[in-house]
């Protein structure tokens, strides 16, 4: 068994190198397909990453009037915590709000000065609500307006965040759609191309196959070289595609460093290196194997 | 399993009336949409025989041989090889059947990109024989056919007679019980042809059954053994010790 595999694999390698240009063309097309698919995969991951960040950072802020007591706010907090869509509710006191305002970038000296002039704390206490899903924000906001503590509430702030989140969500969905369509298209093209390459190999080996059968080669011995040839196409293409991917990310980082989306592409690439490579090898080999199986079914009668 | 020079030499000439290697019972073969290539063939070929099959081209010689190495299956009737029915041979068993038979053809069927050694070794490689065994047996077989010194030449560097001897070596290397030669001398000059026939007779003397299809009178007369004459898909003569007979 091991002997058969090593002998047929050697045969496949020979076929691959002997076909020269055809092999190069096949690997190029396969590489392109794998590259396109993995680019969309990486971009989706990157946008997903950004979305998650935004979702983590933004939440609904329910601002209470300055004179509302801590007890009432805590009651409202307990009320909100009953929703299972709500991940967490955090009480931010007036003092904490002022503290974080002072630390934030919008706090210019002139504003700080104005704050001092006023004396006291002009900020409101609030509840910072995080949900499991950004789509829940509107419902919660509605609930707050109708609740028994609505009179204590000064304002609910979510609209701005919602827009950003919706935009990102739409981008992800669009990228996925384009990725799936292009990926499918390239998958079909690569199948046809590997099918063609193996078909030509089978054709040039017609006499050899006849001789193999005459001297008593088993079916697997005749077929395995063609299957391995497909696997070689797949593995080589995925390696080339990985190299292309890292080069493109480097180029993007050099020429488009300002795009925030792009800054973390490299870390996504290296963080997912093995699953990217493994996935591509798997997909590439699968395409190669399916291509050669179709070719053998049509052109290799054993 | 594999023939070595030693065990070829020590094999004894089989006795007459040994068990049948091949048996045809009422065999007909009709190719799709054609007239019958073979009709009602009944014959038995025993172990150790040397049978010459003669007839014009189109008389059914090649079809008869193809039925034996199961390249074709009979339309009706039964073909037995070593008492096994070949009619329903499975794709799985076909390679094992082929390893019992060495085949030699007019057009040699050598692999052009492999040298002499590799061509002969190939027949063993496909059968899963270990490299050490291959390295030991192939040179011995090439010595037997007189090509021990041309192991590393490629087919195009050899004469027709030499190429055919490589084919014979490849056919022999499995230690088959039967050698089928379909017009082996068709592309050779008379001298090389006689050399090839001498070699086939030597192989037969060592105990291997040989079936030789030929339309060359000189060759068949030289062999001077059992002759089977085919005409229009029928056996018209079967002589135990015969000369080429025109029909």
Which residue, B71, B85, B50, B84, is CA-closest to B212?
A: B50
A10-19, A119-128, B6-15: least confidently modelled range: B6-15
What is the token pair recorded at A106? 């919008």
Only one residue has tokens 């076929």, namely A15
Mean pLDDT of B59-88: 91
| Boundaries of domain holding B66 | 5-14+48-70+95-239
Cα–Cα dist A37/A34, whole Å: 5
pLDDT surpasses 60 at B52: yes
pLDDT at position A200, please? 85
Torsion B137-B143-B147-B148 (CA) sign:
positive
The reply to whether B152 falls in a domain is yes
What is the token pair recorded at A163? 């827009």
Mean pLDDT of B13-24: 71
Report the 10 Å Cβ neighbour count for A135: 13
What is the token pair recorded at A176? 């996925």
The reply to whether B222 falls in a domain is yes
Q: How many residues does chain B have?
A: 247
CATH of the domain at B227: 3.40.50.300
> Mean pLDDT score of chain A, rounded to an integer?
81
pLDDT surpasses 70 at A133: no
The reply to whether B196 falls in a domain is yes
User: Do β-strands B234-239 and B76-81 pair in parallel, antiparallel, or remain unpaired?
Assistant: unpaired
Instruction: From the options 3.40.1190.10, 3.40.47.10, 1.10.1040.10, 3.30.70.3040, give the CATH code of A60-157.
Output: 3.30.70.3040
> Mean pLDDT score of chain B, rounded to an integer?
87
The band of B246, judged by pLDDT with boundaries at 50, 70 and 90, is low
pLDDT tens-digit profile of B181-201? Answer: 999 998 889 889 999 999 999
Contact A20, A230 (CB under 8 A): no
Reduced to 3 states, what is the DSSP secondary structure of residue B211? Answer: strand
The band of A196, judged by pLDDT with boundaries at 50, 70 and 90, is confident
The reply to whether B228 falls in a domain is yes
Q: CB-side exposure of A50: number of CA atoms within 13 Å? A: 20
Please name the member of A207, A210, A215 whose beta carbon is closest to the beta carbon of B126: A215
Contact A235, A285 (CB under 8 A): yes
Total count of domains within chain B: 1
ipTM, two decimals:
0.78
Helical pair A2-18 and A219-255, crossing angle rounded to 10 deg: 60
Q: Which residue of B has its CA nearest to A4?
A: B128
Q: Which residue of B has its CA nearest to A7?
A: B125
Reduced to 3 states, what is the DSSP secondary structure of residue B117? Answer: helix
pLDDT tens-digit profile of A175-188? Answer: 888 888 888 888 88
Best of A1, A19, A206, A215 to substitute, by most chain B Cβ atoms within 10 angstroms, is A215
Cβ-based neighbours of B213, under 8 Å, separated by 6 or more: B52, B53, B54, B61, B62, B64, B65, B181, B182, B183
Report how far Cα B242 is from the mean position of its chain's Cα atoms: 20
**What b/e sequence results for B83-114 when a residue is b if at least 16 CB atoms lie within 10 Å of its CB, and e otherwise?**
eeebeebeeeebbebbbbbbbbbbebbbbeee
The reply to whether B194 falls in a domain is yes
The reply to whether B169 falls in a domain is yes
Strands (E), chain B: 20-30, 36-46, 50-54, 76-81, 84-85, 101-105, 178-182, 209-213, 226-231, 234-239
User: Inter-chain contact B96–A216, Cβ cutoff 8 Å?
Assistant: yes
pLDDT at position A22, please? 83
pLDDT at position B202, please? 92
User: Inter-chain contact A211–B109, Cβ cutoff 8 Å?
Assistant: yes
- Burial of residue B183 (CB within 10 Å: 0-12, 13-18, 19+) is buried
Mean pLDDT of A268-285: 87
Query: Which residues of chain A are within 8 Å of residue B110 when distances are taken between CB atoms?
Result: 211
Q: Which residue of A has its CA nearest to B99?
A: A216
- Burial of residue B223 (CB within 10 Å: 0-12, 13-18, 19+) is buried
Q: CB-side exposure of B15: number of CA atoms within 13 Å? A: 3
Please name the member of B91, B95, B109 whose beta carbon is closest to the beta carbon of A216: B95
Q: Which residues make up the CATH 3.30.70.3040 domain(s) of chain A?
A: 60-157
pLDDT surpasses 80 at A136: no
The reply to whether B140 falls in a domain is yes
Number of A:B CB contacts under 8 A? 47
Please name the member of B95, B99, B111 whose beta carbon is closest to the beta carbon of A211: B111
Mean pLDDT of B7-19: 50
Q: Higher confidence at residue A70 or residue B101? A: B101
Cα–Cα dist A42/A245, whole Å: 9
């Amino acid at each position: 068994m091991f002997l058969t595999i090593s002998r047929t694999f050697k045969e496949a390698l020979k076929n691959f190198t002997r076909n020269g240009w055809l092999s190069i063309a096949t690997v190029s097309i396969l590489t392109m397909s794998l590259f396109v698919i993995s680019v969309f995969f990486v971009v989706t991951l990157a946008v997903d990453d950004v979305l998650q960040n935004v979702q983590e950072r933004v939440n609904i802020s329910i601002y209470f009037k300055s004179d509302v007591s801590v007890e009432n706010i805590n009651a409202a907090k307990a009320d909100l915590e009953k929703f299972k869509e709500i991940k967490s509710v955090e009480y931010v006191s007036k003092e904490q709000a002022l503290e974080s305002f002072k630390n934030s970038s919008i706090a210019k000296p002139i504003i700080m000065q104005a704050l001092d002039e006023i004396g006291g704390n002009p900020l409101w206490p609030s509840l910072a609500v995080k949900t499991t899903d950004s789509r829940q924000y509107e419902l919660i906001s509605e609930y707050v307006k109708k609740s028994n503590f609505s009179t204590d509430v000064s304002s609910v702030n979510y609209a701005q965040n919602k827009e950003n989140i919706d935009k990102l969500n739409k981008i992800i969905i669009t990228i996925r759609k384009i990725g799936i369509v292009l990926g499918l298209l390239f998958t079909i093209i690569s199948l046809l191309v590997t099918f063609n390459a193996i078909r030509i190999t089978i054709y040039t080996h017609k006499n050899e196959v006849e001789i193999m059968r005459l001297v008593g080669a088993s079916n697997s011995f005749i077929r395995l070289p063609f299957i391995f040839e497909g696997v070689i196409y797949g593995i080589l293409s995925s390696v080339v595609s990985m190299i292309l991917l890292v080069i493109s990310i480097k180029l993007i980082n050099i020429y488009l460093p300002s795009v925030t989306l792009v800054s973390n592409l490299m870390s996504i690439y290296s963080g997912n290196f093995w699953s990217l490579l493994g996935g591509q090898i798997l997909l590439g080999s699968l395409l190669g194997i399916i291509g050669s199986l179709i070719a053998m079914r049509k052109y290799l009668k054993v | 399993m594999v023939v070595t020079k030693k065990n070829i030499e020590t094999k004894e000439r089989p006795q007459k009336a040994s068990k049948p290697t091949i048996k045809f019972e009422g065999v007909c073969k009709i190719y799709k949409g054609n007239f019958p290539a073979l009709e009602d063939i009944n014959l038995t070929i025993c172990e150790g025989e040397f049978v010459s099959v003669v007839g014009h081209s189109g008389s059914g010689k090649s079809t008869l041989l193809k039925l034996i190495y199961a390249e074709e299956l009979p339309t009706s009737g039964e073909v037995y090889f070593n008492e096994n029915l070949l009619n329903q041979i499975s794709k799985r068993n076909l390679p094992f059947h082929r390893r019992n038979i060495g085949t030699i053809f007019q057009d040699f069927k050598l692999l052009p990109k492999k040298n002499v050694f590799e061509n002969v070794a190939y027949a063993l490689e496909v059968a899963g024989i270990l490299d050490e065994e291959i390295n030991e047996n192939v040179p011995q077989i090439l010595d037997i056919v007189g090509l021990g010194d041309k192991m590393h030449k490629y087919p195009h560097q050899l004469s027709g007679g030499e190429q055919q001897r490589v084919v014979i070596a490849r056919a022999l290397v499995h230690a088959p019980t039967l050698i089928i030669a379909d017009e082996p001398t068709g592309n050779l000059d008379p001298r090389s042809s006689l050399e090839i026939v001498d070699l086939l007779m030597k192989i037969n003397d060592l105990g291997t059954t040989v079936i030789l299809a030929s339309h060359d009178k000189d060759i068949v007369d030289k062999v001077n053994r059992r002759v089977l004459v085919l005409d229009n898909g029928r056996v018209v003569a079967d002589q135990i010790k015969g000369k080429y007979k025109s029909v």
